[in-house]
């Protein structure tokens, strides 16, 4: 029996993944999975997330948690920045070397739909969820955890940073988050990493605008005119323009008055390029 795809709903997306999970034996993996659930339980409780306000999907080495949009992201972020590090520190103090747990976490938001199938578990779908999973898989997040002595790292999607963190709500310091762009599969996604970026991370500069926008060259000024060219700099047509004390030299001609169609010699007047427009009485006024 196939159940119907539900309408997409907005959810806060929390993703967690255990570092080096597949390198552990079965006994240690089971221990890590149990402890991950304990950490998430404590974190959600600290944020006031009731059972009926969350959905959890076990991914083996991690968890997908969808949280009701009724829970403020500020509260969730404060729990992620305090409860998770404290819980991991307490666990790792007593755990053996082989059972140490370190986490990559991502907090995002977006539209998610449920596509359940009878006899199976899971079935959540959505573009926003896919993008969030790619943030969790980003190399910069893995490298940040590898280079730090802390037990976890936190990355945010742009909507969470711009809509919440940037405004400096209580307990959230925007200066502690650093922007980078990550490439995962065919996507280039913005990520805000809590703490310093990895040593070899370079944040790409904004992409160069298209040469033309709306039919007008992007290098033109507000009035649609090209900006002044520095003295001695070649123009796109090969002519040189030099400005000195109000006198203009165009292609070897010196201009200080009104002239039309000048191609050389010494002139006194304005050089008019292109079609001459005659102003009517109203325009002259």
Reported as a single tens digit per residue, the pLDDT across 94-139 is: 999 999 999 999 999 999 999 888 888 888 999 999 999 999 999 9
Which one, of 201, 87, 74, 62, lies nearest residue 151 by Cα? 87
The residue that leads in pLDDT, 220 or 189, is 189
Render 141-185 in DSSP notation, one character per residue: HHHHHHH-SSSEEEEE-HHHHHHTGGGT-TT--GGGEEEEEEEET
pTM comes to 0.69
Q: Please tell me the class of the 9-194 domain.
A: alpha beta
Reported as a single tens digit per residue, the pLDDT across 264-283 is: 555 555 555 554 444 444 44
pLDDT of amino acid 185: 81
* Matching residue, tokens 């949280």: 67
Show me where the domains of the chain are located: 9-194, 229-270
């Amino acid at each position: 029996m196939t159940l119907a795809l539900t309408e997409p709903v907005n959810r806060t997306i929390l993703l967690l993944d255990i570092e080096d999970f597949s390198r552990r034996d079965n006994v240690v993996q089971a221990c890590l999975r149990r402890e991950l659930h304990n950490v998430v339980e404590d974190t959600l409780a600290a944020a006031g997330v009731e059972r009926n306000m969350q959905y959890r999907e076990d991914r083996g080495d991690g968890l997908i948690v969808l949280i009701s949009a009724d829970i403020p992201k500020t509260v969730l972020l404060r729990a992620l920045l305090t409860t998770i590090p404290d819980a991991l520190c307490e666990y790792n103090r007593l755990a053996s070397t082989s059972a140490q747990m370190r986490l990559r976490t991502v907090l995002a938001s977006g539209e998610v739909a449920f596509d359940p199938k009878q006899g199976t578990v899971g079935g959540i779908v959505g573009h926003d969820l896919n993008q969030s999973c790619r943030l969790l898989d980003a190399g910069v997040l893995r490298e940040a955890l590898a280079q730090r002595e802390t037990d976890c790292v936190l990355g945010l999607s742009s909507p969470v940073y711009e809509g919440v963190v940037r405004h400096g709500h209580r307990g959230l310091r925007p200066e502690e988050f650093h922007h980078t762009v990550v490439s995962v599969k065919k996507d280039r996604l913005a990520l805000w990493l809590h703490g310093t970026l990895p040593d070899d991370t370079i944040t790409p500069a904004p992409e160069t605008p298209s040469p033309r926008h709306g039919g007008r060259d992007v290098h033109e000024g507000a009035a649609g005119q090209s900006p002044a060219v520095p003295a001695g700099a070649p123009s796109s047509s090969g002519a040189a323009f030099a400005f000195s004390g109000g006198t203009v030299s165009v292609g070897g001609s010196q201009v200080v008055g009104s002239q039309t169609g000048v191609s050389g010699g010494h002139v006194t007047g304005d050089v008019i390029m292109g079609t001459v427009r005659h102003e009517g009485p109203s325009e002259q006024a």
